[in-house]
Structure 1
Amino acid sequence: MKAIYCTDRGPAADTLFLAEADRPVPGPGKVLVAMKTSGVNPSDVKTRSGAQGPMVADRVMIHNDGAGIIEAVGDGVDGSRVGERVWLYNVNRSADGVKQGTNGTAADYACVPAALAAPLPDQASFETGACLGVPAMTAHRAVLWAGPVAGKTVLVTGGAGAVGHSAIQIAKAMGARVISTVSSDEKAAVARQAGADAIINYRTENLEARITELAGPDGIDHVAEVDLAAHINLYPRTLSFNATVGAYASASDVNPALPFFPLAFRNICLQPVYVYSMSDAAKSDAIRDINALLAEGALTPIVARTFALDDVASAHQAVESGQLIGNAIVTL
């Protein structure tokens, strides 16, 4: 089979190589998936570049997300799963999710623990299936970690991003009123199409004033946060008492200062979100809800561009450019 390997940390064109590999055989508890698509996430790009630590082996098959069809199963896996359409998550990670693993989805076949192959509803394409592991599962946790959001006002920052777009759709489907921030008119249209009730362009509008105006005197109930450092000082002035925050990134400063007492006075509760090491219960909840929303047509991730397997370096470069609105997908 053909597979993409990373052999070093550095630029995509210098470190990613197409190579022949033996087709894996599923051992106990595992399934063999004939891959149709492989998702390229910012975390995949950062790992390859060296931003998240050194190589864990001489060469590593890349990517965490993807979709395909189960072709064979190992001992202990129900044989009826053969032929099942599935989406994969956490493939290129260690068992605890903290470190990179050596296997990935950028290959003709992937052999994974059966639990990492979630059923893909018939209504969803394989391209959509490759958008779920990191973006949609992160969005689910960022929106729902503190419980139901029905009847609440939820702020989704970065609503045109892959995670933010799914967060808007999930929050709306769960009964929330959604306010979203964006940085351009084009991105405003994307967030609005996803279902946001109100949009704030933080480049042209006063963010604090607009949040206060839109949220009303009670403030925001919950935030799905893409840049904690950029917004945490606004929380004591724009969030309600006992508000909650699910923060999955802090791009402007990875070590943000915490205004402890202003947050404590309002009992604002902050949950950092790292999809790879979420609890099994959180993963199961995410898979259940994501699949239900896919089946209803309420969750529709954006595929920005598709790439051939032998052009995977271009896919990484496209993600690194920051210009894509939506997901980059490798087709096999």
Structure 2
Amino acid sequence: ATVRSGADAALARAAGAHEVVQYSGCSRDELIRDLRALALGGMDHVVEVAFGANIEADCEVLANDGSIAAYATETATPAIPFWPLVFKNVRIFFLGSDDFPQAAKAAAAESINAMLAGGWPGFRIGKRVSLANIAEAHEYLEQRDGNGRAVVITASGQSP
């Protein structure tokens, strides 16, 4: 996992990351060096939430036949290093959760709820609110400092 801070590093480790690299304060070349040291043959898969900002570095650390799952980007039309990606036979998957089939969303929610109920530490809950007070969750997310998600308790009264 690549993270911005020590707190994020601790959360990534708790979530099960085998290796964590903190990128704040280091140059792009230092980040690439550190990532290559962890995967000498290159990374098989990158999960990307800043596609446009990171695609060149991703290309440099990916193994041949590697893949990228891109969930977000900071620009609507990011430039990509086409030929370096082609020469490595990289597959890029652009994923928008709004378009996932309802059955896939339900299965993911069930899995996440089961992990949370089992005490998985990789998801920090900062605030729990009832459905009737959902506006409090929005306010918390807009004004909060630090990590932690807002969880809405449903009519069944159950929450992770």
Please tell me the residue identity of whatever aligns with 1:230.
A
> How many residues matched?
150
What does residue 69 of structure 2 align with? 246
What does residue 201 of structure 1 align with? 22
The verdict on how the C-alpha distance between 1:275 and 1:190 changes in structure 2, with shifts beyond 3 A counting, is same
Greater shift in the superposed pair: 207-216 or 304-313: 304-313
- 2:126 corresponds, among 304, 310, 315, to 304
What does residue 6 of structure 2 align with? 185
Q: Is the CA contact (8 Å cut-off) linking 1:219 and 1:238 kept in structure 2?
A: yes
What does residue 323 of structure 1 align with? 145
Q: Alignment partner of 1:188: what SS?
A: helix
Give, in whole Å, the separation in 2 of the partners of 1:285 and 1:307: 23
The verdict on how the C-alpha distance between 1:296 and 1:303 changes in structure 2, with shifts beyond 3 A counting, is closer
Q: Is the CA contact (8 Å cut-off) linking 2:46 and 2:58 kept in structure 1?
A: no
* Cα deviation, residue 320, structure 1: 3.1
Please tell me the residue identity of whatever aligns with 1:195.
G
Q: Is the CA contact (8 Å cut-off) linking 2:70 and 2:94 kept in structure 1?
A: yes
What does residue 237 of structure 1 align with? 60
Q: Is the CA contact (8 Å cut-off) linking 1:247 and 1:273 kept in structure 2?
A: yes
State the superposition RMSD in angstroms: 2.9
* Cα deviation, residue 277, structure 1: 1.1
State the TM-score, normalizing by the size of structure 2.
0.77
1:261 matches 2:53: no
Identity of aligned residues (%): 31
The verdict on how the C-alpha distance between 1:310 and 1:280 changes in structure 2, with shifts beyond 3 A counting, is closer
State the TM-score, normalizing by the size of structure 1.
0.40
Q: Alignment partner of 2:92: what SS?
A: strand
Deviations 1:110-160 (A, max 9, x none): xxxxxxxxxxxxxxxxxxxxxxxxxxxxxxxxxxxxxxxxxxxxxxxxxxx
The structure, 1 or 2, with the larger RCO (C-alpha pairs under 8 Å, 6+ apart) is: 1
Superposed counterparts of 1:270-281, under 5 Å: 270-279=92-101
User: Larger helix proportion, structure 1 or 2?
Assistant: 2
Give, in whole Å, the separation in 1 of the partners of 2:130 and 2:105: 30
* Cα deviation, residue 210, structure 1: 0.9
Q: Is the CA contact (8 Å cut-off) linking 2:67 and 2:90 kept in structure 1?
A: yes
Any unmatched runs of 5+ in structure 2? 155-160
Deviations 1:252-277 (A, max 9, x none): 32321122111111111111111121
